[in-house]
Structures are given as structure tokens and as C-alpha cells.
Structure 1
Amino acid sequence: MIRETLSAFGGIGMFLVGMLLLTSGLKGLAGGQTRALLVRFTRTPLSGAITGALTTAVVQSSSVTTVAAVGFVASGMLTFSQALGIIFGANIGTTITGWLVATLGFKLDLGELALPLILAGALLQLSGRARLVLLGQAVTGFSLLFVGIDYLKDGLAAFSGVLTPSDFPPDTIIGRLELVAIGIAITLVTQSSSAGVATALAALGAGAINFPQAAALVIGMNVGTTFTALLATVGGGTMARRTGLAHVLFNLMTGLIAFFLLGPFTAVAAPWIAEGSGQIALVGFHSFFNGAGVALMLPVTRQFARLVEWLVPERGSPLTRGLDPAVLGVPNIAAELAVATLARLNTAVCDHLCRSLGADLPPDARLPARAEIEAALIELRDYLDRIRLPADRPDLAATVAECFHALDHLLRLLYRCDQRRRISALGDTPRLRRLRGLIVSAAARQARSPDDPATEEMLDRLRRLLHDQRKHPRDRIVEDAVFGRISDEIALARLDALRWLHRVAYHLWRIRLHQNAIATPRTEAVPQEKETRVDVALD
């Protein structure tokens, strides 16, 4: 009996390893296409539910789909109610694994046939080519699922007649609640509802439990996945916490529906499914109650979203609310959130510059306090530091590097807004006032640029113009000071003002340059402006 017990545990272990490899391989093969499809086809909660179900079925991971949904909302690509549709659909997508296990693993006995596929998958992983390695992981994982099921079946078969349904809680209300609790515990231990469902299917096939008991276990496993979702939100941002709470509330509601549907389904539907096959009926029940939960929630998704938003209010600065720590482990999503935050900070700093120069802002503009802007810039810098960049994604490394460069210039530009003495000197002469007006127009355009390449070209021209202004008018200012037409103090203030104008134009240009490099990666390096030591020393 010890050998059979070890076989059952080993089968569960192989199944879990298989799921990990399968998910990792499929996720890598899907790449950015998964996220592109989610955004493209998610227009309403219904389309989001369908897309989320299909995506989860393909990549075999609801967490991948859920994290992507968090990133979409945090970056402003989707509303929270649209993302909820994706999360609801992911619950249906996870039931596909149960169908694979019940139809292929238990009906066709593919364990021995899968052994050569494990070798094939291992050879593919040894090829060294990225796509083949991922394909090898998926093939190996898929094969290990069925080898694990074979061991699980063989181990539990030995308990036939020894372990019977009477050894488990009876088919009563209290008994079913106890079985639900056991199902939750199994999911907490294995951290995989799919492995729990496979175990329930094997126990049902061995006669250790009957259909109502197996169904109650599956309900508990479905609810148990919410604890994993809650753990994933610890330390996360607002969107991660809202998503985790929405997942918990939805699964609890779905579990409640399933609990009340269990009796009628057992009596009416189960005997007619696949000629009374208990295993097919079990996965059918799993899909049925998840589908019923989605069908009931879709009409009230927006109201549900408002409830969750009320329960989990926004916190922190609006400038950096999109920087969700929960997605730091997914570098492409984290980088996109950083880029979106950088754009908001660019607008805030440019608006602050315009206000510092005495210009009016657009009616809908919200100008945060200077301290809030600086704190947000530092928070973005820290977030960029924490993104885990994989060695095989130089494009992401380039994006993060461009963000750092743009962020550096934003910090410098914010510092220059504090130089009140230089700013006040800009009103001394008609020329300085005209140049100040050019800076205001440039900053306003940079804050809400409708045409990035054209804006970069305009800022470059302005930067060159102001660089020339530092050379030619300087001699006249010095001459006026020499002949006593203006005091030395005023002359120095005007020279400082000219330098300030050039440096501000330079920062605006560099910020746009790096932002454009993020949007459209360049084949050549971002050009660097040559500066003299005198310029830097006097700055």
C-alpha cells in the first residue's frame, strides 16, 4: 500500500511539473500575441469573457491572463469593467485542462504513448533555438500530464474497495460543505486547481468517491484558487488588489451557485452525459457552473466593477497609480506601465514649466503640486530599477534605458523651474520675452504632442536657435555693461537667463527624443549633443 501511495503522490507531482512546463512553453510561444489579442477583441465584458476563456485555454494559465488584464487597466488601455470580462472568462478557460484529463488521460490511456514525446521534447530543448526550446517545454509538459495521470490512476486503483465513499463525508448539506473545505485545502497545498481536479477524477474512477462527493471537491478547488489570487495581490497596487478581490467575490458567488446546482445536476444531467460516465459528467459540471456564473455576472459587470472600486479605493498619486508592483515579474507589462507613467509625468512637468513662466494651462489640465511631481519622478525611477529584465529581451532593456534617460531630463527640467531669479530676468527685454514665449509654446506642445516626429524636429530647431542666442546677443549684453548702460548685476542675470532658456529647450528636446525612441526604436544610437566645459560650469 505504501508503494501505491507513493505512486499516487508521484503522479500528482508529475502532473504539476507537466502543467508548469506546458504553461511556460505555451506562454513563451504565444509571446506578445496573447496580449495583443486580448486588447484587440476586448470591447465589452462579453467579448472580454470570450477572449479571456480562449486565451486561458491556449496558454493553460489563468494567472497569465489575469496579470495581463491588470496591466491593461493600469496603463489605461482597458476599463476595469472590460478587464473583469477577461477575468470571468479565464475561469471558463481553466476547465479545459479537466476536459483533456478526462477525455485523453482517463479514456485513452496515453501514458505509455507519451513517453517518446518526452524524449522528443527534451531533444527540442537541447537544440538551443529559442522557439524550439519553448516548443520542447510545451511538448514535455503535455506528455508529463498523461504520465502523471497514469501513476495517479495506478496508485489510487490499489485503494479500490479499501477506500470507499463511506469513508468520506456523506452526501448531506454538512457533508458537502466539509468536502468543499477539503477541496479548498487540496488547492492550497498543490497551488493548482487542475491538479486537484485530476486527483478527483482519478478517485472517482477508482470508486473511492462518488459523483456528488467529487463534485463538492471540485467546487472547493474552484473556490481555493481565489486564495492564490489574494496572495498574488499582497504588496500590489490598486489594480492588482481590485482584481484579486473581484476574483474572490466572483469565485465565491460561482461556488455558491454550484453548491445549489449540485443536487439537480446529479439527479438530472449527470446520468445522461456520455452514457453516465462520471468523469465526463464531473468536468461537465465544472464547466457548467463556471459558465453559469459568467452568464449571471455579465449583465451586471459595470455595477460589480463600481462595487469593487468602492471597496478598494484609489491610493497614492494619480501620476503613478499605474505602477503596479504585481506585474514587476512580467517585464513587458511592467515596461509598458512605466512608459505610460512617463508620459503622464512629462505632461505634469511641462505644465509646471508653463505655469512657472506665467502661462495659462488648458481648462482640463490638472497641475499637481511640485513636491508631488518630484515624488512621482523618484517613484518611477525606483520602479524601473525593480523591473526584472530577461537576457533575451534587448528591446525591453532599450525601452527601460530610454525611460531612465527621459526621466533624468524631467528631473533636471523640474529643478530649473525652481530658478526664480533666472526666470524673472526673462521679462527684462523684448528679445527675452519673445524667447520665453517660444519656450512656453514648445512646452505646451511637448506636454500634449499630437505629432511626435514633428515635435522632436521643432524642439531641435528651438534648441539650436537658443544655442545661437547664447553666442550673439551675449556680446551686446556685455557691451551694455561695459559702457554703463546696464549694471553688471543685470548683465549677469540676462546672461544667466539666456543660458536657462537654452538648457530648458535642450531638456525638452531630449525628453521627446527618448520618448520617440521608445515608440519607434531606432537602428542608430540616440544622438548626443556636444557641450563645452564652460557651458556646464556656468549652468
Structure 2
Amino acid sequence: MDHVLSLIGGIGMFLLGMEVMTAALRDAAGRDLRAVLARFTTTPLRGVLTGAGATALIQSSSATTVMTVGFVGAGLLSMPQALGVIFGANIGTTATGWLVSILGFKLQLDALAMVLLLPASLTLLLGRGGVARAGRVVAGLCLLLVALALMQAGAADLTGWLTPERLPGASLGGMLALAGLGLAVTVLMQSSSAAMALALVLLDSGALTLIQAVAIVLGMNIGTTFTAILASVGGSGPMRQTALANLLFNLGTFAVAFPLVWLGAGLIAGFGARHDAMTVLLAMHTGVNMLGVALFLPGTARFAGFLARLVPNPKEPPLVTLDRGMLRDSEAALVAAQTAADAIAARLFAALGAALDARPDYRGLSALAACDEAIEELRGFLQNIRLPEGRQSAEQVYSALLHQLDHLTRMRARTQSRGHFTALMDDRVLRRPALATGACLRRLGAQYSPREAARLARLQALIEHRQSRHRRGLLLGEHAGMYALGDVFSHTDAMRWLLRTLHHAVRVAEYQRQARAGLPAAPEKAAG
């Protein structure tokens, strides 16, 4: 029983270590990684290189793929560019297996990891900024190595019970069953790296033959697509196309590689017997993914066209529709214009509120193209309204609408700066007001409320009051070595972004109030 608990505990610790290390590497790369993905993917081939490098850097193909899906939804990447990144991510993810093999099996650094875990954890807890992230990376790596030692000990004790003979063999049905097992394990763990580590441990202990391990790894390649599919649920058409592309790429690679492995099982087993089986497994994992890229890359444009036909992207109905016939009645036109402004504000507030959450959801930000069309529609409509002479209330409503349009346009521009959300959530001082702002915006997005508008104004005043003190604290922390200079800049920029976004939101809500007060029949609920 103890060996089973060691194996299960080792897997859990490995998953925790991967999460800690990947999160730290992703935060460290942060804005630079997003900029690289957005800028250096001008061709599918450059996308492959960028995707492979980014995945090897942050040690997570799922993170790269999910980020790519989001970029496609936001319009930052075209489908052919995104396909290149996805192809490359499947090559980059093999780097984790090589890292685990070298550090955990060849060098056996688990004893050193035990020694380093305490100082790394203290650095994580007591440090700030880049120092804390470095401590998190080292702590995560230490957890990985200790977890591997636990898994190896548990697997070694299991060899009397778990033997290759108890598992499906090298027949066609047996290898398909093993591939299905690899797929299921990867979906369950939500980490192809952890599944690969488990396969390496079982191969090293003799619980698996090389051919069995290869079949399991081929199934893992398909299982790793599940995270991106989940991320695309409820997203735009391009997001679903990108997630489907990742699935089809891995299915196509499997369809080509599996028959080759099955037919060449004897040759592979003989080669593994003469050489290190673990190295052969890792080389085949890398080779299979490179084979997939070689097959799909030349036909990237045709593949993108096929995806567009398979998952059509229906045109989203317009957010607002303003009938020019209402311009004959200025009061009716003002009511219609305010209803349209409410709909735009509701969409922007809801999207920003969802992103400023403890569990941020960026899908709303990725689907704001309708707001651009709605803003232009409203601008053209307002330009054609002719106000009656001497109607001061109508002039006040019209002025409030013009101010709303200006602040909505500026707030929409702010939503395109995506790099500040992570910095806000990482900042101890800004996190709480940012979350409060998000909650307030979500409520205003659901329904306009003077009370919520007043609360938003108080949040703006609170953050403005703390602004200079927080900036001074960041600069002093950088001088004392607590923060890296880049962290100071990113947190200062994030605070400025939050204040400017809050300013526009507060002014929109205030001019909504003014317009409603002057309209004969103000709408009760913001359309959205």
C-alpha cells in the first residue's frame, strides 16, 4: 500500500511543482511573451519557431495554446499565424521530457532539490517581484525532482505486481488501448508533462516496455488538446477554429505515426534494447511532433481554409441598430441614442468586469469588435440629430450623449491593452481595489444603478489617493532590491491604466445619469 501512496503522492507533487514553476515562468515572460507571440509570427514558419521557443520557455504547451486561442479571438493573430504557433508548441512541449530525464533520472538531483527547497520557499515567501518569481521557479523545480524520486520509489515497489505482461501488448488492439490510456491520463491530469513523467518512471522501473510507452505517449499528444478546447467553449468562431486545429493536428499526427510505430515495433524494441530506452522514447516523442509539423506546415493556408468551412464564423448581429427614420422626432432620436449608448456601456463594463476578477475571463474582451461598429453607428446617428430651438433639456441630453460617446471610445481603446491585468492581480496594494472595480463594473454591465456608479466614483478617489504613495513604495522597493526595475514599470503602468479606465467608466455612468434625468422615458435597464 505504501508504494501506491508514494506513486500517487509523487504524481500530485509533480502536478503542483509544474503549476508553480509554469506560473512563475509565465509571469516572468509576461508582456514580453505576449509581444513575441503577437509580433514574431508573420509567417507560419516563424510561428512554429516562436511557438516552440515560447513553450520550451514556460514549460507548458497548454498555456501557449490557450494564449494563442485568446489572441485569435482578439484579432491579434490570423488563423495561419496561430496555426504556426500551435504546430511549434507541440515541438516545444517535448523539452519538458528531456529536462525531467536529464535532471531527474540521469543526474538524480533529488537530494540537492531537498536542500534547495527551503531557501527557495523562503525566497518565494519573503521576496518581492523578480526575486519572488525566481524563488518560485526554483521551488517548483525542486518539487518536480522530489516528486520524481517519490514516483520512482513507488514504481520500483510496484514491479512485482505491475508488469508489461499485465498490460495490453504490441498487437494493433493492444496499442490502441494503450494510446487510449495515455489520452485518458493526460485529460485527467490536465498536464502532458506529468503524464510523460509517469510514463518515464514506469519505463525506467520496467513496468512498461518501450513499445507500450511509445503507444501511451502517442495518446498523450491527443489528450493535451483538451485544455485548449475547454478555453474555446463560449468563445468566438476563430477561437473554436484554433482549438479544433490543435485537435486535428494531433489526430493527424497520430494517424500517420501510429501505423509506423505498430509496423516497426520489432525494430524499435531492438533499438531500445541496444541503447537507452528512455532516450529513445524522448527522441521518438520529439520526432513524431516534428513529423506532424513537416506534414501540416506546407499546407497551412489550405488547412486554415478547411477550418473556416468546418467551423463557420457567423457574423455577429449588430450590438445596436439605429433607425434613421427616428431622426424626424428629436425626442425619440435622443431616447434611441441613449439606449444605444447604454448597450455599448453594458458590453464594455461586463467585459472589463469579467477580466478584473480573481478568476479572469478574457473572452468578453476578445469579442468587443461589435462595440467598434456600434460606436461608429452611434456617432453617425448623433451627427444627424436636429434639436428644436429653445429646448434646453434636449440640449443637455445631447451634450451628455456626446460626452458618453467620447468616454466610451476612449474606454474601448483601453480594453486593447491586455498586459495590465496580470500586474494588477499580482500587486498586493492594487489587487483588492482592482477586484472591487471588476465587481462594480459587472453589476453596472448587468443593470445601471446610481448606487453602483457612486461606488465606482469612490473607488477612483481611493486609488487616486493611494497613487503617489504606492509609486513611491515601488521605487523605494526597487532601490532596496525588492523589485526589479521592469516590475516597477509594469505595476506603475497598470495603476495608471486602472485609473484612466476608471475615470472613463465613472464619467460614462455620470453622463448616463444626466441623460436619463433629461429624457421623457429613460430606459430602466441597459441593453446588452
TM-score over 0.5 (shorter chain): yes
Residue of structure 2 equivalent to 1:303: 302
Once the two structures are superposed, residues 87-143 of structure 1 have per-residue CA deviations (whole angstroms, 9 ceiling, x without a partner) of: 111111111111111222111111111112211221111114132222222111111
**Structure 2 contact 6–153 (Cα < 8 Å) conserved:** yes
Residue of structure 1 equivalent to 2:288: 289
Once the two structures are superposed, residues 117-175 of structure 1 have per-residue CA deviations (whole angstroms, 9 ceiling, x without a partner) of: 21122111111413222222211111111111111111111233543322211211111
How many Å apart are 1:505 and its aligned residue? 4.6
Q: Distance in 2 between matches of 1:263 and 1:184?
A: 18
How many Å apart are 1:516 and its aligned residue? 6.7
**Structure 1 contact 374–411 (Cα < 8 Å) conserved:** no
**Structure 1 contact 45–85 (Cα < 8 Å) conserved:** yes
Alignment RMSD (CA, Å): 4.1
Amino acid at match of 1:47: R
Query: Structure with the greater relative contact order (CA < 8 A, sep ≥ 6): 1 or 2?
Result: 2
Moved more, 299-308 or 157-166: 157-166
Q: Distance in 1 between matches of 2:39 and 2:269?
A: 38
How many Å apart are 1:182 and its aligned residue? 1.5
Residue of structure 2 equivalent to 1:328: none
Larger radius of gyration: 1
**Structure 2 contact 348–412 (Cα < 8 Å) conserved:** no
- Does the alignment pair 1:492 with 2:390? yes
**Structure 1 contact 56–62 (Cα < 8 Å) conserved:** yes
After TM superposition, list the pairs within 5 Å mapping 1:320-331 onto structure 2.
Answer: none
Paired residues in the alignment total 419
After TM superposition, list the pairs within 5 Å mapping 1:220-231 onto structure 2.
Answer: 220-231=219-230
Residue of structure 2 equivalent to 1:22: 21
Residue of structure 2 equivalent to 1:388: 356
In structure 2, the CA distance between the partners of 1:373 and 1:196, relative to structure 1 (3 Å rule), is: same
Residue of structure 2 equivalent to 1:485: none
Once the two structures are superposed, residues 356-391 of structure 1 have per-residue CA deviations (whole angstroms, 9 ceiling, x without a partner) of: 889xxxxxxxxxx99999756544433233223469
How many Å apart are 1:67 and its aligned residue? 2.2
In structure 2, the CA distance between the partners of 1:266 and 1:354, relative to structure 1 (3 Å rule), is: same
Residue of structure 2 equivalent to 1:248: 247
Residue of structure 1 equivalent to 2:479: none
In structure 2, the CA distance between the partners of 1:149 and 1:503, relative to structure 1 (3 Å rule), is: closer
Q: Distance in 2 between matches of 1:220 and 1:50?
A: 24
How many Å apart are 1:196 and its aligned residue? 1.4
**Structure 1 contact 242–312 (Cα < 8 Å) conserved:** yes
Residue of structure 2 equivalent to 1:487: none
Moved more, 516-525 or 17-26: 516-525
Q: Distance in 1 between matches of 2:406 and 2:351?
A: 24
Q: TM-score, normalised by structure 2?
A: 0.69
Q: Distance in 2 between matches of 1:92 and 1:354?
A: 55
Aligned-pair identity in percent equals: 39
Q: Distance in 1 between matches of 2:381 and 2:56?
A: 52
In structure 2, the CA distance between the partners of 1:512 and 1:184, relative to structure 1 (3 Å rule), is: closer
How many Å apart are 1:265 and its aligned residue? 5.9
Amino acid at match of 1:383: A
Q: Distance in 1 between matches of 2:202 and 2:33?
A: 35
Q: Distance in 2 between matches of 1:516 and 1:376?
A: 13
Q: Distance in 2 between matches of 1:319 and 1:66?
A: 30
Q: Distance in 2 between matches of 1:412 and 1:253?
A: 44
How many Å apart are 1:71 and its aligned residue? 2.5
Residue of structure 2 equivalent to 1:166: 165
**Structure 2 contact 48–89 (Cα < 8 Å) conserved:** yes
In structure 2, the CA distance between the partners of 1:373 and 1:147, relative to structure 1 (3 Å rule), is: same
After TM superposition, list the pairs within 5 Å mapping 1:408-447 onto structure 2.
Answer: 414=378, 417=381, 423-424=385-386
**Structure 1 contact 169–176 (Cα < 8 Å) conserved:** yes
How many Å apart are 1:228 and its aligned residue? 3.4
Q: Distance in 1 between matches of 2:255 and 2:390?
A: 77
After TM superposition, list the pairs within 5 Å mapping 1:82-161 onto structure 2.
Answer: 82-160=81-159
How many Å apart are 1:497 and its aligned residue? 6.9
Once the two structures are superposed, residues 251-271 of structure 1 have per-residue CA deviations (whole angstroms, 9 ceiling, x without a partner) of: 111112221221466555676
After TM superposition, list the pairs within 5 Å mapping 1:202-221 onto structure 2.
Answer: 202-221=201-220
Amino acid at match of 1:283: L
Q: Distance in 2 between matches of 1:223 and 1:36?
A: 28
Moved over 6 A (4+): 352-358, 369-374, 410-413, 516-520, 522-525, 527-531, 533-537
3-state SS of paired residue (1:31): helix
Q: Distance in 2 between matches of 1:356 and 1:67?
A: 45
Q: Distance in 2 between matches of 1:303 and 1:126?
A: 50
Q: Distance in 1 between matches of 2:22 and 2:514?
A: 58
3-state SS of paired residue (1:492): coil
In structure 2, the CA distance between the partners of 1:353 and 1:498, relative to structure 1 (3 Å rule), is: farther
Amino acid at match of 2:199: A
